[in-house]
Homo-oligomer: A and B are copies of this chain.
Amino acid sequence: KAHLSLMGNLVLRQQQEIKQLRADLQAAGSNTNGVLLWKIPNFKTKLAEAKQKSMELVSVPFHAGDNGYKLAASVFINGNGSGEGKYLSLYIKILQGEYDNLLEWPFQLPITFTIFDQCSILEKRVNVIESFLPDTTWKHFQKPSKDQEPMGFGYPKFVSHETLFTRNYIKDDTVFIKVNVDTATLLGP
> Which residues of chain A have a CB within 8 Å of any CB of chain B?
3-4, 7-8, 10-11, 14-15, 17-18, 21-22, 24-25, 27-29, 31-33, 35, 37, 39, 66-67, 98-99, 101-102, 104-105, 116, 118, 120, 122, 171-172, 174, 176, 178, 187, 189
Partner of A18, one of B8, B14, B104: B14
Question: In the complex, which residue of chain B has the Cβ closest to the Cβ of A168?
Answer: B101
Partner of A176, one of B7, B8, B14, B189: B189
Which B residues touch A37, using CB under 8 A?
Answer: 66-67, 99, 102, 189
A29 to B23, CA, bound (A): 12
Which B residues touch A18, using CB under 8 A?
Answer: 14, 17-18, 21
A147 to chain B, nearest CB (A): 14
A35 to B174, CA, bound (A): 29
Contact (A25, B14) CB under 8 Å given A101-B171, A104-B122, A189-B176: no
Q: List 22 A-B contacts (CB under 8 A).
A: A3-B8, A4-B4, A7-B7, A7-B11, A10-B11, A10-B15, A11-B11, A14-B14, A14-B15, A17-B18, A21-B22, A31-B66, A35-B67, A37-B66, A39-B99, A101-B118, A101-B174, A102-B118, A104-B122, A105-B120, A122-B187, A176-B189
A166 to chain B, nearest CB (A): 16
A146 to chain B, nearest CB (A): 11
Question: In the complex, which residue of chain B has the Cβ closest to the Cβ of A5?
Answer: B3
